[in-house]
Each structure stands twice: as C-alpha cells, then as structure tokens.
Homo-oligomer: A and B are copies of this chain.
C-alpha cells in the first residue's frame, strides 16, 4: 500500500482597484523553478488540513486571519512531475488592507495578479484558480462571502462595486441599495466617508447577520 504525498494550496482573492486579484509566490526551486504558483506545500504529520493551509500561507506570504474554505482535492496522476502528489485546494478571501504580502522566510517573490491577467502557472494551478473563481461567484451571489473581501466598514457604493467586481457585471444602483438595506444585514455606523463628492454613510455587517441569514433560509 503505497501512499501519495499530500499538499495544500490556497487560492487567495482580494479586491483592489476594482480588480479581483489572486496571490502567487514565485517558486524558488524545481520543479517549475522561477514560475508563479499558488501558496501551499506539504502537510505535516498529523496536521489538520486547514491548519496546514493557514501555515503555508503565512510562511510564504505573511498573511493571517483570512477566510478559508475547502475547494476541491486534486489527485490526477501526472499533476506533479515529482511523482504521486495529491493536493487539497482552499478558497481564501482577504481584505483590501492585506497588502502585507512580505517576501517570506524563504525570500520568495510574492505578488497579486488580477484574475483577468494571470501569469503562466506551475502544476495545475490555473485549473484551481478557475474553479475557485467560479465557486466564489456562486457563494457571493447567495451568501455572505462578499463581506470577507471588504473592510469592516464600507459605504453602499463600495459594497456594490465589490459585487460588480466579483460577478463581472454591472448592477442597478437603486435596486441594489433597496435590496441591501431591506436585507436587514447592515447597520449604519454613524460615520461618514468624506472625500470627493457628497459624503457617504458607512455601514457594517450587523452582529447577528449570520443568524438573520440562516433564519431567512429556514423560512423563505
């Protein structure tokens, strides 16, 4: 009974400059040396999978406290030239303030790329990104995932832009605002965002959002 090696990989998304961006690291050794790849690596003995994903992400990029959910497990023979390696891929979401992708302990390059302009990727990582984006869109369409891509406080316009960026389609401002406000998920903070143009009210996801959301599904 031979056993495969087991790795985890993280497709980490972030919203900046009205672009959906994905995080990559440049590989420092073969195979695919010098190529861009998803942050990830081998699972350690008796390490829970999600813990491994967080550890690798932090080791390679310095990022912590992101949202993570399991995406899919890839196990096709031939997906890794080193031999039999299966990988559990995670979908990750980070806030716009997560610039902090430092060059990791291994002194690797780390960079965000717009999902519309990906570099050539190592292994089957392009497939992983494509699958992750699909899943992200579904989960944003009917879920609370969008809020993991926003700062804790935001204006309705920022929220709308976030949706538009992830879904890749424009939304009607009035319909959007009505729906957002009627959802019961948002609280005014009282603050205003000032700058260009008229000041905008700031909102937060209200504390019982999860509950409200589940209640909604439970009743219709």
Kindly state the separation between the CA atoms of A88 and B192 in the bound complex, as whole angstroms: 48
A88: chain B residues within 8 A (beta carbon) = 73, 75
A210: chain B residues within 8 A (beta carbon) = none
Which residues of A65-92 are within 8 A (CB) of B?
70, 72-73, 75-77, 84, 86, 88
Question: Is there a chain B Cβ closer than 8 Å to A110's Cβ?
Answer: no
Tell me which of A2-10, A101-109, A151-159, A181-189 binds B.
A2-10
Closest chain B residue to A74, Cβ basis: B49
Chain A interfacial positions (CB closer than 8 Å to B): 1-6, 42-49, 70, 72-73, 75-77, 84, 86, 88
Q: Do B76 and A73 have beta carbons less than 8 Å apart?
A: no
Kindly state the separation between the CA atoms of A89 and B48 in the bound complex, as whole angstroms: 16
Kindly state the separation between the CA atoms of A3 and B7 in the bound complex, as whole angstroms: 10
Q: Do A77 and B46 have beta carbons less than 8 Å apart?
A: yes
Question: Which of B1, B49, B86 sits near A49, CB closer than 8 Å?
Answer: B86
Kindly state the separation between the CA atoms of A65 and B19 in the bound complex, as whole angstroms: 43
Q: Do B72 and A2 have beta carbons less than 8 Å apart?
A: no
A42: chain B residues within 8 A (beta carbon) = 1
Q: Do A49 and B75 have beta carbons less than 8 Å apart?
A: yes
Task: Using A6-B3, A6-B6 as known contacts, say yes or no to A48 and B70 having CB atoms under 8 A apart.
Answer: no
Q: Do A2 and B77 have beta carbons less than 8 Å apart?
A: no
Q: Do B73 and A2 have beta carbons less than 8 Å apart?
A: no
Kindly state the separation between the CA atoms of A43 and B4 in the bound complex, as whole angstroms: 9
Give the Cβ gap from A200 to chain B, nearest Cβ, in Å: 30
Q: Do A77 and B3 have beta carbons less than 8 Å apart?
A: no
